Structure 1
């Protein structure tokens, strides 16, 4: 997970302001100068591990949260980022609100459990679970698709198959000139390529082959 020194600095500043302390007063807690505190807050340099822990404890948060931000907000962003990927490749039929809330609630429950065991300031385990959120969203999308929902391939096939069938039935009409036949042939190739590309994307996503009926028809050229 990437860390932004500027954002860490802003969190340190917020902690200092919440205590109602000047930079000088805050620095005295760590036997350091006002200038050093200013550099922390500007993100120019970084507190050592000991000071990071002490700063985090002042706000009753973990060092991870001081470094990366509120874990629940990060989890929500990770989930939404993965969902946006699926939306971008056409999975608009999936109930993403349901999936998002389900995966988030699971993570929140796990976070609460670890916090009760280790305490909020020592809860490092939940941050290690963040990379797994992408896989959980994928599993839920897969499950949603499997449970009787139309896959994007079904939807694509419904749109393309009649057009492809029409082109193949019309392509050899003697009333068409060579230019018109060429237009139909180019359109047919474009449709087939679109279907093959979507087939490849989803097969890679779900790590198993997907079939489209119109491939059989399109191969009879």
Structure 2
């Protein structure tokens, strides 16, 4: 990301003044830099070389990233302004930054952070009308969720989900009992297009709420193989470069047995109905 030399200069000035050093003394400590170099750093004309930057960061009791970009919150603010051209609302930032840090995101995770911002905004309907699944915890377990689509005056159940946080995996099974409402039809359409680049927000916008990270994530879909009349499990893994989920039959994962049993029962019911329709 772009380094704001003026902002770095102000941080260098704060470090120097904190210890009461003159420019000359400060330069002597930082690899014998001339007074003129220190002056140019503080004015934001030039940046110190890497060796000197590390020395200044150590003196200021901060990381190199903190010296270059400020706090992680400041870094994300600059990133979003630079990449998306928006200023995040306060009600958004209170939740979002803590969730980023809890899930291990840090300086340099630019692509993922921007993707998560877009997804989080969609999920909370702050700046977009794009549809996304809202994952609501069920009453009997914090790892099981009802996947619903919010409407103006109601909500529609479209799937059930299980968040395997230890393996960064989301298991999803359609809410078969809800028939063919518009929202359910949209859900199945989204399933078919999950492998299309930049088209997974429908499922992944709520990842931070689920305790999952987009990077290296897996999505396991449980359904019906209509040709065979049997339960079907389709595993997908996220590819960061293409921003798409790729189907991988050899993917290692732990099957969610309750979802598989439910899919099996639905497959039996579907086959019975199909046989009746085609004697």
Q: TM-score, length-normalised on structure 1?
A: 0.49
Q: Per chain length, whose mean CA-contact separation is higher, i.e. which structure has more relative contact order (CA < 8 Å, sep 6+)? A: 1
Relative to its length, the structure with more strand (as a share) is 2
Greater CA radius of gyration, 1 or 2?
Answer: 1
